[in-house]
Amino acid sequence: MNDVNIRKGLLHDLPRVLELIKELAQYEKALDQVSNTVERMEEDGFGSNPIYGFFVAEKDDEIVGLSLYYYRYSTWKGKRLYLEDIIVTENQRGKGLGKMLFERTMKFSLEENCTGMMWQVLDWNKPAIEFYKRYHSKLDEEWINGHLEASQIEQFFNQK
């Protein structure tokens, strides 16, 4: 795909990035769960203490894909790159953009001296699972993900 440019994400890309995030949420039937904003993403990614980065796929001067990552630290392995999401807009899926974004992110993990890369995939997302298997990825079924929303944490401490 010579007509696609993969590049580091920039501040002015954020409105389109949030559109892609919402498109993914809609695909996953969870659009009502998206509470992020361009302003929050600006502070979190481009403020005084950036906590994430991203690559975009551009075609005909339009952002049609995204790979968003951040660092995590493993007590066993050290510095790891966590791939939060790869998103390719619906009309561009199946054309190799996900592969280009994934491989650029893999390369970036090596450039950053990470000991590896991690991500999650929904168990019903068979196309994504098959995609990751082509890279001989280890897809772990024994770990259960846990999370608390800020409102739940606040509620817990308000009850004490």
Greatest distance between any 2 Cα atoms in the chain: 59
Q: Quick check: pTM over 0.95?
A: no
Q: Percentage of residues in the chain with pLDDT exceeding 90? A: 81
> How many Cα atoms sit within 13 Å of 108 on the Cβ side?
22
Pair 69, 81: CB distance under 8 Å: yes
Q: Is 132 a catalytic residue?
A: yes
Which tens digit of pLDDT belongs to each residue from 105-121?
Answer: 999 999 999 999 999 99
Annotation: CATH topology of 4-158? Aminopeptidase (3.40.630)
Q: So what's the pLDDT on residue 145? A: 80
Mean pLDDT to the nearest integer, 83-102: 95
Which tens digit of pLDDT belongs to each residue from 33-80?
Answer: 999 999 999 999 999 999 999 999 999 999 999 999 999 999 999 999
Q: Where exactly are the structural domains of the chain?
A: 4-158
Pair 85, 93: CB distance under 8 Å: no
Residue type, 145: N
DSSP secondary structure string for all residues of 36-95: --HHHHHHHHHSSS---EEEEEEETTEEEEEEEEEEEEETTTEEEEEEEEEEE-GGGTTS
Mean pLDDT to the nearest integer, 7-30: 96
**Considering 52, 70, 71, 132, which one is annotated as catalytic?**
132
Query: What are the structure tokens assigned to 142, written together?
Result: 């024994």
